[in-house]
Amino acid sequence: MIDYPDDRSIAAEADRHDIPEPVLVRDLVRVVEVLNLKAKDFFSERSVLAGSMALRCFDSPRFTVYDADFSTSSQAVNPATAMKDKLAYRDDDLEITPADLVPHDDGGTAWQSAPISFTPIFTSLIPDPDDRSFKADVSFRGMLLDGLEVPFKVPYELGIWEDDPAVFVMDPHEGVSRGCACGASGCPTGKLTAAVTDSATAFPPARPARRSTAENLCAGEHVRDGSALRDEREWTTTDCRDGQATDEACDQRVPWCDASLPVDAHHGVL
């Protein structure tokens, strides 16, 4: 799936990014998992990579160390438990063994495989067995927007392939809108969810003023303004609605919730 790097290259790249070596190894394994699903024809306009690994394809600095998020439908994978076979992978340098998928919402439309254990024969830099796992969250709710086929990007200079392979990812307008809606409806703060629904009623009607999109955000959400993390608590719904913050300030703080903006406006979303 990839040209596996040697330990010296992994250690140097981990040092360059200031992350532990086992974290980088786990990330490489998740990359292999995505390519494994691509080889098994999982991806399409209606079956996509989501979450932070998808946002990295748009140059987001978002980095998670344990999750792999996917969004699909029962038309693409049926039954949901069949996803376990798709997640399983083995070659001479790596073995990935998923746990059974189990539902983790009341409606049975979101499933999880955890832990997904792996044996990285290609490296000795992850000696603790407790570090050799990740999890996959799979939404079966469908999508509002077709996925985008884009180059699959990783932030490392490890020569794991000659050209970036193409994968289908969730349209960032939908991903970010879902994150805003999740915050407003009481989902864990700061968690950009990959879960989407198959009905346009899931989104509120579009509002004419961009500042009103702040109503989709909860205090405690975090965004990146291009230079540093800012706490959304500084610019809550009340601030923008009642004039305690200027229109310009609200626009600067939450423009990525406006689905009319181009994709480039979503770079850096956390």
Interval 173-232: pLDDT, tens: 887 766 554 544 444 322 323 332 222 223 333 333 332 233 333 333 333 333 233 333
Query: Do 68 and 33 meet the contact criterion of CB atoms below 8 Å apart?
Result: yes
Residue 245 to residue 24: CA distance in whole angstroms: 41
pLDDT of 58 higher than 80: yes
Q: Are 98 and 223 in contact (CB under 8 A)?
A: no
What radius of gyration, in Å, describes the C-alpha atoms of the chain? 19
Tokens linked to 103: 């539902």
Please count the other Cβ atoms lying within 10 Å of the Cβ belonging to residue 7.
13
Exposed e or buried b per residue across 163-192, where buried means at least 16 C-beta atoms within 10 angstroms of its C-beta:
eebebbbbbbbbbbbbbbbbbeeebeeeeb
Q: In sequence order, which ranges of the chain are alpha helices (DSSP H)?
A: 7-17, 21-39, 51-55, 83-87, 172-184, 237-241, 247-253
Task: Return the pLDDT at 76.
Answer: 85
| Cβ pair 88, 98 in contact under 8 A | yes
